[in-house]
A and B are shown apart, each in its own frame.
Chain A
Amino acid sequence: MDMMLHVLAPELLLLATSMALLVGDTFWAKRYPALTFQLALVSLLMIVGVILASFSTESVQAFNGAFIRDGVADILKVSMLLMTIFAFVFAREYLVVRGIERGEYYVMGMISLLGMMVLASAYDMLSLFMGLEVMSLALYAMIGMHKDSSVAIESAMKYFVLGAMATGLLLYGMSLIYGVVGSLRLDLIYQAVSIAEPSLVLNMGLVFIIVGLAFKFGIAPFHMWVPDVYHGSPTGITLFLAAAPKVAAFALMFRLLIEGLESSVVEWQGLLIILAVLSLLVGNIVAIAQTNLKRMLAYSTISHMGFVVLGFVTGNIDGYAAAMFYVIIYGLMSVGAFGVILALSRKGFEADNIADLAGLGRRNPVMALVMLVLLLSMAGVPPLVGFYAKLVILTNLVEVGMVSLAVFAVVMSIIGAFYYLRVIKAMYFDAPVAECVDAGFATLSLRYGLMTVAALVLVLGILPNGLLTLFAQVMTY
């Protein structure tokens, strides 16, 4: 089998442009400070174009089966690229005002994205692990970029230590599985596991893998880092952290558990149920007590990831498609919600407390409306797209007979609705506080970007069929 490099065209393109920007930035950073940003956007858009132009639901393998390009990978990649583009556009002004905007931010972001894209396409435990590490290392560095802020350094440190531990656990699990199966390729693992006798070593490996995955996803009880990291990182980076890496975590889980170990579904299903239930509990209940918007959104992320895991719990293709839909929709909403925080902050004022949004409905009706749409969508109120994300997960749960789990999930989303309502209450019902006069530095691109996100949430909510059908189609292939 030859190398079939054209399968990797998007990744190679991203690698080349990010390296070029890394070098180029040192030359032009002083004279044209915006150039790296602009070029980064152009290259990301170009890669989106490349993927869309060659999109197909057929799967092609490269590097002797270590790398696969299929419909699932393409959809995940396009969504990660779009989230990154949104994140770059939204975050730029924030970073500039704080004096931490450097070319490296975009380059790091692109390298991290490269890792995620490799992850989405990995078909071999080695490439999977490589993608994961490329993604994570770049993220650690990004969080630590704001080196004057002790909180940011602290959260970078936390993220690094816990992330390294998770990686260790994952790697250990992988090695145990390798020990049983004797291969790193996911399709060979799949074949071997489906005929293998149930063995303790295999199950041990599975447990370690799931714990590692749970860390990366940030699901309870391995969620401790999420609020601290979200809160401690500069919002411009939290924004990036909260969207595309979650999609990558989905990819990791999908490749490992479904493509590799689906025949052990009985073993991992129970574990995932526990994780999902705990995440929904912790995420929704602890979020109520938060006064900081970033922390609240962090806890809400935990509960959303609980929903994604519920999609896996069903153990069938429709459920995985539902989980994919959920995670992508979540990424979109999350980019938007953090984007609003960015739009309201200005130098010396982070706008990240719920109280800072007081009276936003009067001060800035457009931003308030955007935030309203995003929060209600996260709460799962129709006709916004977040409702369908929850609906498809619940439908699949009920279809496989897990009605009680579905009831639990909806009860938790009622509790969830409460803390989203608290933010809406601050925006619309509370009187504006004197010091937060007008929106900070909402530039035109940020403003229109956020409006686009909100419009997407609404339009996809009214016409969700296209995406749902597409996702079901690529999954069944």
Chain B
Amino acid sequence: MTSFPLLSALIWLPILSGVLVLMMKNQPTMAKQFSLWSSIGVFVLSLGLYTGFDATTAQMQFVEQASWIPAFNIQYFLGIDGLSMPLIILTTFTTVLAVWSAFECIEDRVEQYMAAFLMMNGIMVAVFSALDAILFYVFWEALLIPMFLVIGQWGGPKRVYATIKFFLYTFFGSVFMLVAFLYMYSQIGSFSLLDFQAMPLSFVAQFWIFLAFLIAFAVKIPMFPVHTWLPDAHVEAPTAGSVVLAAIMLKMGGYGFVRFSLPMTPDAANYLDWLVISLSLIAIVYIAFVALAQTDMKKLIAYSSIAHMGFVTLGMFLLYGILANTGETQGAILGLEGAMIQMISHGLISAAMFLGIGVMYDRLHTREISAYGGVVNTMPVFAVFMLIFAMANAGLPGTSGFVGEFMVILAAFKANFWIALAAATTLIFGAAYTLWMIKRVIFGDVSNHHVAEMKDLSRREFMIMLILAIGIIGLGFYPAPVMDVMHTSVEHLVQQAMTSKLP
């Protein structure tokens, strides 16, 4: 089993099945079934990463290394540690739900739609497991193509504007990252991320590289003020597109910080941590107010995603403040672990919220909050699930949403009281915008005859919701399985982030 190239299989199997699905023209049923079962197969296969994972080491595991473009010393170099493994499983898991959720609402060019999601699955796994900068960049950019087409072809009325904005924003961010890669390559003649992490760098170089990374990842996460593509993309994207976008693609930015920024440019990160922290706090506080004002459900959840991702970046960059204050690494580890948990949890919660909104949209074909009201009367089962997801989104203890936020706030107290206070307001605002939306949509009297005609969940929808609810509550009560696998890697990361790389 050790020699089986599991990561390659997880990358190329979905891509190949995507190509196969693409050929099933005019056979929508077959395309759907095939896509579902192949994505389930990939998910089951990806569990092999969990069972075969050695949580006691921060070394890269499941490593595959081969020369790819020797002319530039570019390698086909894959491997995972505790930071990337949970994200890969989240990816394969979310893809199953995304594919399954599209069974009824997509009627046009089904095979292309399904193929796009399968291919994205493989590409995203590759992004999380690539250990060569160019390999990483290739997949990072390649992901834009299917997403661009998905939003543009199956999206809402303003889809073209939204998808071009999405493409250009992310493309804009990542080219600077490419130049940073090339600079580091010119210094050491290797594109291996491990070599990048080990190489010494002058402060000026680190400073610019950090900024280049920051642009790339901030656009992806997205952080204030480059977040404006996200609400547009989310609102216009089809449900499954929103799910993948929110649950996984945003995580690529957070992953970038822990894989690139912190270990590669620790001194610049130390110097500029105030910048990231301030932007995170703006995201948490200001964006929460923006979310409060939304009348479109998807837009509201999109803004809430930005606020939640603010927690992720906050947790990641608290460590220097904590070290300066307390001099010990415990708090730093807490913050980073909180950020990682928050990523996983937000993946589940945002997927759940978008799927829930998708369920309503399929029935009424509108996302305006004002078009709903009293859904609980006609869809009681759905209302229960929606309430669970909303509570998780608001960070209620017992749900996964609480764990990450709580850990980050706790860590923030060790860094600075005021930061912690600002961050903690999210528990109020988050509850406010989420629950207010739930009140207006779910509760109350049946507001109009459209709502009166809504049918409750189908078996398929029920299963999707149930799986997500189990995941969210399970992670909320017992996050240990996820935390255990990442603990050693986070410790290692904190060591790296504290070690100066100045020559």
Contact = CB atoms under 8 A, between A and B. Distances in A.
Q: Do A and B come from one complex?
A: yes
Interface stretch (B36-44, B177-185, B394-402, B445-453): B177-185
A454 B159 CA distance: 27
B207 interface: no
Task: Find the residue from B68, B141, B178 having the highest chain A CB count within 10 A.
Answer: B178
A425 interface: yes
A394 B138 contact: no
Interface string A359-403: 001000000000000001000011100011001101100110001
B182 A394 contact: yes
Contacts of A413: 175
A392 B186 contact: no
Given A382-B141, A421-B168, A395 B160 contact: no
Interface in B59-75: 68-72
B464 interface: no
A66 B176 CA distance: 45
B176 A407 contact: yes
B57 interface: no
B183 A428 contact: no
Contacts of B185: 395, 398
Nearest to A399: B186
B149 interface: yes
Interface in A306-348: none
A381 B176 contact: no
Contacts of A381: 141-142, 144-145, 171
A58 to B, nearest CB: 21
Interface in B419-475: none
A362 to B, nearest CB: 8
A414 B178 CA distance: 13
Contacts of B145: 376, 381
A468 B71 contact: yes
B71 A428 contact: no
A472 B71 contact: yes
Contacts of B138: 382-383, 387
B179 A398 contact: yes
Contact of B179 (A361, A383, A407, A417): A407
Contacts of A22: none
A381 B145 CA distance: 9
Nearest to A395: B182
Contact of B171 (A406, A417, A465): A417
B71 A425 contact: no
Contact of A417 (B68, B69, B167, B186): B167
Contacts of B142: 381-383
A410 B160 contact: no
Contacts of A464: 69
A465 B69 contact: yes
Contacts of A382: 137-139, 141-142
A220 B263 CA distance: 43
A288 to B, nearest CB: 12
A420 B409 CA distance: 45
B153 interface: yes
User: Size class of B's contact patch?
Assistant: 20 to 34
Contact of A428 (B72, B149, B168): B149
Given A410-B178, A418-B164, A425 B172 contact: no
A465 B70 contact: yes
Interface residues of A, number: 33
B231 interface: no
B168 A469 contact: no
Given A429-B152, A469-B71, A410 B175 contact: yes
Contacts of A417: 167-168, 171
A395 B72 contact: yes
A465 B141 contact: no
B312 interface: no
A196 interface: no
A449 B159 CA distance: 33
Contact of B153 (A383, A418, A428, A465): A428
A411 interface: yes
B135 to A, nearest CB: 10
A422 B167 CA distance: 12
Nearest to B175: A410
Contacts of B163: 429
A422 to B, nearest CB: 8
Given A381-B144, A391-B134, A428 B152 contact: yes
Task: Find the residue from B68, B72, B148 having the highest chain A CB count within 10 A.
Answer: B72
B164 A425 contact: yes
A391 B186 CA distance: 13
Nearest to A467: B71
Interface in B119-164: 134, 137-139, 141-142, 144-145, 148-149, 152-153, 159-160, 163-164
Contacts of B176: 407, 410
Contacts of B134: 391
B183 A403 contact: yes
B154 to A, nearest CB: 10
B182 A429 contact: no
A91 to B, nearest CB: 30
Interface in A422-439: 422, 424-425, 428-429
Nearest to A401: B186
A411 B138 CA distance: 18
B167 A421 contact: yes
Interface in B227-274: none
A406 B186 CA distance: 13
Contacts of B164: 418, 421-422, 425
A429 B178 contact: no
Nearest to A468: B71
B10 to A, nearest CB: 18
A3 B183 CA distance: 49
Contacts of A398: 179, 182-183, 185-186
Contacts of A406: 179, 182
A414 B182 contact: no
A403 B182 CA distance: 9
B272 to A, nearest CB: 19
B168 A414 contact: yes
Nearest to A373: B145
Interface in B162-221: 163-164, 167-168, 171-172, 175-176, 178-179, 182-183, 185-186
Contacts of B144: 381
A150 to B, nearest CB: 37
A394 B183 CA distance: 10
B71 A465 contact: yes
A465 B168 contact: no
A355 to B, nearest CB: 14
Contacts of A429: 152-153, 159-160, 163
A421 B68 CA distance: 29
A395 B167 contact: no
Contacts of A383: 138, 142
Given A382-B137, A391-B182, A421-B148, 14 more contacts: A381-B141, A382-B138, A391-B72, A395-B182, A410-B176, A424-B148, A425-B152, A429-B153, A429-B163, A465-B69, A468-B69, A468-B72, A469-B70, A469-B71
Interface of B: 68-72, 134, 137-139, 141-142, 144-145, 148-149, 152-153, 159-160, 163-164, 167-168, 171-172, 175-176, 178-179, 182-183, 185-186
19 contacts: A381-B145, A382-B138, A382-B139, A382-B141, A382-B142, A387-B141, A388-B69, A395-B182, A398-B179, A398-B186, A403-B179, A406-B179, A410-B179, A414-B171, A429-B152, A429-B163, A465-B68, A465-B70, A469-B70
Ranked nearest first, the 10 interchain pairs of A and B with the lowest CB-CB distance are A382-B138, A410-B175, A468-B71, A398-B182, A399-B186, A465-B69, A429-B152, A469-B71, A398-B186, A382-B141
